[in-house]
Amino acid sequence: MKKLTGNINVGVFISGRGTNLKELIKYSKKNNTNWKIKLVISNKKSAKGLLFAKKNKIPYLAIEKERKAFEKKSINYLNKNKIQLLCLAGFMRILSKSFIDKCKFKIINIHPSLLPKYKGLDTHKRAIEAKDKYAGSTVHYVNAKLDSGKIIIQRKIKILKKDSPATLAKRVLKIEHQIYPNALDLVCSKLV
C-alpha cells in the first residue's frame, strides 16, 4: 500500500450520542496525534454527537437519506475533504459493498462485544444470557460482512454477577473510549 505523509485526515460516521467521537477528538488534541478528525457525518439530524464536532470546529453534516443516497452524498464529502481513514462510531447502518469498494481508504469500526461473538445488536444482553465470563469491545476493519473484518484491538472485562445489560454497557463503553484512540494510533502508524 502507498504510504501517506503528514497528518492523516480522519472522517467519522455516527448516528447517536457520539461519546466515542468525543473521546477521539479529546485524545487527538491532547496527544497531538498524527491523525486528525476532519469531518463528521451523521445519518440522523438529531445525533447528539454532532454537537461535539460543532464545539471543536470540525466540519460536520447530517445526511438523513436512505442508504443509497446517503452513501453517494457522503462519499463526495469524504473525497472533497481528503479523508484517508473512516471510523464508524455508533453508526447504526450497514454500509453496502459498493460503498466499501468505492472508498479508497480503510474503514474501521468499534463493536461492543468480543468478536466474533455477538455480531449485530443487543450484545450485552446476549453475553449475560449465555452466562459468559467476559464481555468487551473490539475495533476491527470493515468489510462487506457485518462485524466481520480483521480485528485490530480487543479488550475484555469480567461480567459481574450483578450486571444488567445496562451496567455492563456502561463499563464496556469506558474501555471503548480507551481502545478506539489506541486503535487509531496503531492503524495510522501503519499508514505513514
CA atoms within 13 A of residue 86's CA, in its CB half-sphere: 26
> Is 111 designated active site?
yes
149 sits near ligand GRF (criterion: CB under 6 A) = no
**Single residue of 176, 179, 181, 188 touching ligand GRF by CB under 6 A:** 176
CA atoms of 165 and 120, how far apart (whole Å): 15
The three-state secondary structure class of 14 is strand
Catalytic residue among 111, 124, 140, 177: 111
The three-state secondary structure class of 112 is coil
CA atoms of 156 and 106, how far apart (whole Å): 25
43 sits near ligand GRF (criterion: CB under 6 A) = no
Estimate the crossing angle of helix 19-30 against helix 165-191, to 10 degrees: 40
Q: Which is nearer to ligand GRF, 74 or 112 (CB)?
A: 112
Site string for ligand GRF, 111-130 (x = CB under 6 A): xx------------------
Q: Which range touches ligand GRF (CB under 6 A), out of 52-60, 63-71, 110-118, 140-148?
A: 110-118
181 sits near ligand GRF (criterion: CB under 6 A) = no
Q: Which range touches ligand GRF (CB under 6 A), out of 15-23, 28-36, 54-62, 114-122?
A: 15-23
- Is the omega angle on the peptide bond into residue 116 within 30 degrees of 0, that is, cis? yes
18 sits near ligand GRF (criterion: CB under 6 A) = yes
Phi, psi (5° rounding) for residue 14?
A: -130, 170
Which residues are annotated as catalytic?
A: 111
